[in-house]
Amino acid sequence: MTHREGRAPVFLAISLSACLALAACSTSEPEPEEDLPADHVSRFWVEREVMVRTLDRMLSENDPEEVLASISGSRDRLLESHILQQTEDGYVVELDKDAWRTEEVDGLARVDDALIDAMESNEVTWCGETVSGDEFVDTYMDEHWQTLDTTEEYEESVTDYVDCGDGRP
């Protein structure tokens, strides 16, 4: 084997590594494992629930126009998906997920991005010390993720937490 013949396997190994790395980075939300029970609650679902209910409370506790102005470009995704709706009295958050139109914004990953933007851009002012929305959500996830079993339990827990409780249903 000559010196040049040894380069082909190295080149192929580098190319294969680059392709695998790009493929791994292109997935958005992991596919659910087939062995999970039907009542499994995903981390994405819980985090989304905290963000939606926190945004709802932000609109009632703070100036809704300021909350929306700070969201900037993501605001349109929340409106197009019907999560955020304009009414005669201002803006409301649609808590019924069946009424959402996530296909209008290319799916839940885009909705999650918009909600993350809303949390990063606004503050929770009603539970003692003012904190950023994303810190508020992160604190809930750190304390409560994988402590409950059903969506109903998480809904009760999140509602309590957003209302300044300890998040224990």
Query: Token pair for residue 20?
Result: 């695998």
Is residue 15 domain-resident? Answer: no
What is residue 26's DSSP assignment? T
Is residue 54 domain-resident? Answer: yes
* Per-residue pLDDT tens digits for 87-99: 998 999 999 999 9
Torsion of CA 55, 56, 58, 63, to 10 degrees: 120
Provide the mean pLDDT of the chain.
85
Is residue 17 domain-resident? Answer: no
Burial of 133 by CB count in 10 Å (0-12 exposed, 13-18 middle, 19+ buried)? buried
pLDDT at residue 1, as a whole number: 52
Q: What is the number of domains present in the chain?
A: 1
Size (the chain), residues = 169
Is residue 23 domain-resident? Answer: no
Query: Token pair for residue 42?
Result: 């995903």
Q: Looking at this protein, which amino acid is placed at residue 102?
A: T
Is residue 38 domain-resident? Answer: no
> Domain containing 71: what range?
43-162
pLDDT at residue 156, as a whole number: 97
- Taking the CA atoms of 162, 55, 112 and 135 in sequence, report the sign of the dihedral they define: negative
pLDDT at residue 44, as a whole number: 96
Is residue 153 domain-resident? Answer: yes
Is residue 10 domain-resident? Answer: no
Torsion of CA 64, 121, 75, 128, to 10 degrees: -40
Is residue 64 domain-resident? Answer: yes
Query: Token pair for residue 84?
Result: 């955020």
Query: Token pair for residue 10?
Result: 């190295």
pLDDT at residue 19, as a whole number: 44
pLDDT tens digits for the chain (169 residues)? Answer: 555 555 555 444 455 454 444 444 433 444 444 566 667 899 999 999 999 999 999 999 999 999 999 998 799 999 999 999 999 989 999 999 999 999 999 999 999 999 999 999 999 999 999 999 999 999 999 999 999 999 999 999 999 999 999 998 7
